[in-house]
Amino acid sequence: MKAALHEWNLAPKEAIALQKELATRLESDDRIAPVTHIAGMDIGFEDNGDTTRAAVVVLKWDPQTAPDLTLVEHVVHREPTRMPYIPGLLSFREIPAALGAFEQLNILPELIMVDGQGIAHPRRLGIAAHLGLWLDLPTIGVAKSRLYGKHDEVGEVRGDWVPLRAGNETIGAVLRSRDKVKPVFVSPGHRISLETSLDWVMRCLGRTKLPEPTRLADRLASRRDQHVKKPQNLLF
């Protein structure tokens, strides 16, 4: 791997310049290998934020049994938190830990869903886009709230969606992933189009708001399910 601590330990000003440069390398057309495994990634914190916990789950994709996905691998990686949360610079705070988790993975997914924005970002390099470039894998950003862009109100039925725009460009979509529930913000990261991103998010939707990959990664990264281990927690 390209070592370089300087790739992550940057002052805000340098980080912003790097984002602009990296954004020009993103591929917005689909360049995806036949999908058999989909990963989900999310970050959580412990020790009052001093420890960053990265969680990655890998689900088996079987068109025959879809939308039922099977959890086939999961990894949790902890390391000291390196910097505070700064809107627009989230990837510099969370990706280093995420890479630690991906390094321990045995199964290489063809697609990754990340808890955060793809190109729906002021400089078009949200955490999903940044991670996709680094791993050179297709990524989709699935955020629970908006960071950037404007949009009209979205219908209340599952599947309804409206474009998320920035000036003339469409940078993502506001998707009603579950009836009457707060919508999610879907935006392509690397090597995937918005249309295909929406297709995959829809295909991975159970009866919950979040698609299975990020829903499970979310639970693994979160502190809550950490102690309880009874019912469906048998998954972990």
Partner DNA sequence: GCGACAG
Partner DNA sequence: ATCTTGTCGC
Which positions make up the binding site for Mg(2+)?
Answer: 42, 115
Is there a contact between 40 and 217 (Cβ–Cβ < 8 Å)? yes
User: Binding to DNA by residue 49, rule CB under 7 A?
Assistant: yes
User: Binding to DNA by residue 87, rule CB under 7 A?
Assistant: yes
Stretch that binds DNA, among 21-29, 38-46, 157-165, 191-199 (CB under 7 A): 38-46
Q: Which of 57, 84, 55, 80 is nearest to 70 (CA)?
A: 57
Please state whether the peptide bond connecting residue 67 to the residue before it is cis, i.e. omega within 30 degrees of 0: yes
Q: Which of 143, 154, 144 is nearest to 187 (CA)?
A: 143
Cα–Cα dist 18/41, whole Å: 23
Stretch that binds DNA, among 61-69, 81-89, 102-110, 157-165 (CB under 7 A): 81-89
69 vs 210 by CB, closer to DNA: 210
44 vs 109 by CB, closer to DNA: 44
Site for DNA in 104-163 (CB under 7 A): 115-117, 121, 126-128, 141, 143-147
Residue 89, CA distances (Å) to 16, 47, 159, 205 in order = 8, 22, 30, 28
Applying CB under 7 A, which residues contact DNA?
Answer: 42-45, 49, 85, 87-91, 94, 115-117, 121, 126-128, 141, 143-147, 221-223
